[in-house]
Each structure stands twice: as C-alpha cells, then as structure tokens.
Homo-oligomer: A and B are copies of this chain.
Amino acid sequence: MKLLEERIRKEGKALSESVLKVDSFINHQVDPEFMDLLGKDFAEHFKDYGITKVFTIESSGIAPAMMVAKYLQVPMVILKKQTSKILNGNVYQTRITSFTKGTSYELTLFSDYIQSDDKILLIDDFLANGEAATGASRLIEQSGAELAGIGILIEKSFQNGRKRLEDAGYYVYSQARIRKLGNGVIEFLSDDEPVISE
C-alpha cells in the first residue's frame, strides 16, 4: 500500500537492522485521518471474507482495528495482555513471549466475546516473528471460531512471521512490507513478492 510506504519513508526511522520507529504517526502519536485511510483499505481488502469481528492485541493495534471495525460494521475485540493466569473460568488464555522485547504475558480473551461461528479478522501494527499473531490464532481456535484473515500495517519481511502464519494456513495481508532495515535504510518489498528465503 503506497500511502503507508510513503509515510514510512518520510517519518519512519530505522534505529537498527531490526527496529523501525514509527511513533510519530502510528504508535505513540497517532494520525487519526491516516488511520482512517488504513482502516478503510483493510475493510476494502477483506470485504468479501464474511468477517464478523475484528480482533486486535492491546495496545498499538487498537487505533487501526477500531477503524477497520467501523468500516466493516462489526464489533472490535481487544485481546488483553495479562501478567498472570485468570483462574475463574470463562476465559481463553495463552502465553506469549516477545523475543523483541524480552517479555512474556498471558494473552487473554473472555469467552463471552467469541462464538464458534465467528469469522475473525486479526489486525496488528507489526508482524515480526509472529509470536503475538500465532498466540491470537490459538485462542481463536480454542473457541472453535475461524481466523479468516490477518491484516498487518508493517511486516518485517526479513523475519519469519509471515512464513509461520502462512505455513499454519492463515492468509496475511500487510500494508507495508519491509525487505531491509539498517543505518538510515528502509527498503520495501512489493505486495506479490514472496517472503525472503530463510
């Protein structure tokens, strides 16, 4: 998606070979008009997937997911990051370890907010190793619902998240795909190029 690529070229900062800072318009300061456009693009892309709910993981996915849900006219559900297991039932939980941040949490979903006939679109800001998205897919499958698609703002295509999700049978659409990051360098991959071989 050219619009996001252009904005990343203009405002993104490659802090290292793996870290891209986009906190002037996505993560910390958020441009609501721009989010609206990204949300509209996702909604357009997934309009024939029969989506019944948009899921996201707190907290940087909330802003774009909100806009997608608004355009698709379905509820949004925020998967919560809990520090500990919730023991009083009616909850799906799975442990996520973020290698990037060196942290762990229990991704949590109250069972009231998913039904076995739901078709879920998962929206998140970044896809790197796919830990969070894979965890979300486990919760969704535990409930019997279907993860019908995954929409990502920024895919780090040099990491194995997309491959992992595709190997597990999921469809991934990323608005911007980063081939390479480095000292002031941000290179993109086109929509139809395969992931970098491993």
Complex A-B: 16 CB contacts under 8 Å: A28-B110, A28-B113, A29-B75, A29-B78, A29-B113, A30-B66, A30-B77, A32-B74, A32-B75, A33-B70, A36-B70, A59-B59, A59-B78, A62-B62, A62-B66, A66-B66
Q: A24-B112, A29-B113, A112-B24 are in contact. Are A63 and B76 (CB under 8 A)?
A: yes
Interface size on A, residues (CB 8 A): 30
The residues of B that contact A142 with a CB separation of less than 8 Å are: none
Q: Say how far A139's CB is from chain B's closest CB, in angstroms.
A: 13
Q: Which of B31, B70, B77, B80 contacts A75 (CB 8 A)?
A: B31
In the complex, whether A58 has a CB less than 8 A from a CB of chain B is yes
Measured between C-beta atoms, what is the minimum distance from A75 to chain B in Å? 5
A190 at the binding interface (Cβ < 8 Å): no
Write out the residue numbers on chain B whose beta carbons fall within 8 Å of the beta carbon of A69.
30, 32
- A1 CB to nearest B CB, Å: 20
Contact of A113 among B24, B59, B110, B113 (CB under 8 A): B24
The answer to whether A66 and B28 touch (CB under 8 A), given A58-B58, A59-B78, A78-B59, is no
Q: Is A35 an interface residue (CB 8 A)?
A: yes
A73 within 8 A of B: yes
